[in-house]
Amino acid sequence: MRRFAADRAKKLVLSFQRSLYSQPPFSSCAAAAMSSNPLPVTVDTINAEVLKCEYAVRGEIVTHAQILYCNFGNPQSLGQQPITFFREVLALCDHPSLLDRDETHALFSSDSIERAWQILDQIPDRATGAYSHCQGVKGLRDSIAAGIAARDGFHANADDLFLTDGASPAVHMMMQLLLRSEKDGILCPIPQYPLYSASITLHGGTLVPYYLNEATGWGLEISEVKKQLEAAQSKGIAVWALVVINPGNPTGQVLTEDNQREIVDFCKKEGLVLLADEVYQENVYVDNKKFNSFKKISRSMGYGEEDIALVSFQSISKGYHGECGKRGGCMEVCGFSADVREQIYKIATVNACSNISGQILAGLVMNPPKAGDESFESYSAERDGILSSLARRAKTLEDTFKSLEGVSCNKAEGAMYLFPRIDLPQKAIEAAAAVKTAPDAFYALRLLDATGIVVVPGSGFGQVPGTWHIRCTILPPEDKIPAIVTRLTAFHESFMAEFRE
């Protein structure tokens, strides 16, 4: 069964790779297309930007290869259990009649019952199936703002918050706001999470890449960002924003405070919106670094609302909670004029509102049980157990990659991924070219075919030309990691022996 799935995935991804090399030109002859095809819409008549858009982590190879997923940040699909307190509160909010039953006190903790009452009192008519305010339930935004203020030590305003169905819609909202044409650009890290390249393409803008320095642990160097900014401007591109992903995806680095200050100063000096992807803020696995939000850094530098435009993206999908399917996210918007904020609000109204379950979970994530609450000890044990296990898995996989011939791998400081570099033999590169496949995709396909392990080729995230990588998650269950290590090691040794000069 595994071989069948791998074979099918291999054929599909080869077809996908070939399509990248031979995309049909966009045709404006809609009538001609329709005359040869009875269907009114064809790939020749749809938006050309959709055809250009790529999203590597959800390609056809992973759609059909239901085997060992090491490709996507989807924790609960790999066995991670949801946080009990969060789910208890959510269940009670969705079925409030339970709150009036005596037996509920035997099944649910007292603080989850109390929290559910508090949340329901904030929702009009206690109707979790009704639309909310387009920015999200005001009481939940108040709760999240309080959590942000406690995290950063600086005031947060509920009116600056937009609750969204995960972080992705929030990113799309900002791209829709900032991009008018292909002459508008956004600075993005390379490697980058393909949401950014995809959304920039879909909204008709230009991605302006800046390369992270692999030799310094995927460091962000202001000199490189400045060089790329000036190069884009020399081509007539108006660059509006700088995307920073911290902790990094797919690279797993955590920025230092000094580096963050440099970034804030650069954005201030160049008049750039700082788009801060901070969805992995709980996922830090090293003792010498910690997460600091860019808002905290900018405020500690003395910059206020009028000094720098800053947008922070959060999500309930990552962290220790991993509630990907509940689709909850939060965008904090600071430093925009009243008339621009009105336009952001207008975009939000088009989407009506985000789902209420995601909003509730976003509020709970920023305000979990506190010391003295009945659920605090069990909540803390679940949270710490998940994060410590992720740290162990990251170290094991990092050590494995470092032990392989021709492979180098920076330390997994945070997030949920490793992005090892593979120095592929020339014969392997030539074999990949013969089947019109990128060399790292060729390696990933061979790995899938031989072992059932699914990783994502680095070419889906961007990389320095002539280098090849794969992105591997640290999410498979801890008891499955030894099997992954064994299969991966045996495959790599065999692959290198086959193609060695």
b (16+ CB within 10 A) / e for 5-22: bbeebbebbbeebeeeee
- The secondary element (H helix, E strand) that includes residue 89 is helix 84-94
Segment 89-106, tens digit of pLDDT: 999 999 998 988 888 988
Q: Average the pLDDT over 413-426 and give the result.
A: 96
pLDDT for position 68: 66
Q: Which long-range contacts (CB under 8 A, 24 or more apart) does 461-467 make?
A: 461/56, 461/190, 461/191, 461/192, 461/193, 461/194, 461/250, 461/419, 462/190, 462/191, 462/192, 462/197, 462/209, 463/190, 463/191, 464/190, 464/211, 464/214, 467/214, 467/421
As a whole number, the mean pLDDT across the chain is 87
Residue 21: pLDDT band by 50, 70, 90 thresholds? very low
Q: Which long-range contacts (CB under 8 A, 24 or more apart) does 197-201 make?
A: 197/54, 197/462, 198/53, 198/54, 198/55, 199/168, 199/171, 199/172, 199/175, 200/175, 201/49, 201/52, 201/53
Do 96 and 62 touch, CB atoms closer than 8 A? no
Residue 27: pLDDT band by 50, 70, 90 thresholds? very low
- The dihedral built from the CA positions of residue 84, 89, 92 and 95, taken in this order, carries a sign that is negative
- Phi and psi (nearest 5°) for 59? -65, 175
CATH of domain 131-366: 3.40.640.10
Q: What percent of the chain has pLDDT over 90?
A: 71
Domain locations in the chain? Answer: 2-73+387-499, 131-366
Three-state SS for 251?
coil
pLDDT for position 67: 63
The pTM score is 0.86
**Least-confidence region, from 130-134, 211-215, 462-466:** 130-134
Q: Right CATH number for 2-73+387-499 from 3.90.1150.10, 2.130.10.10, 3.10.105.10, 3.40.980.10? A: 3.90.1150.10
Token code pair at residue 278: 């901070």
Segment 300-325, tens digit of pLDDT: 999 998 899 999 999 999 989 988 88
Rounded Cα distance, 87 and 382, in Å: 13
pLDDT for position 6: 47
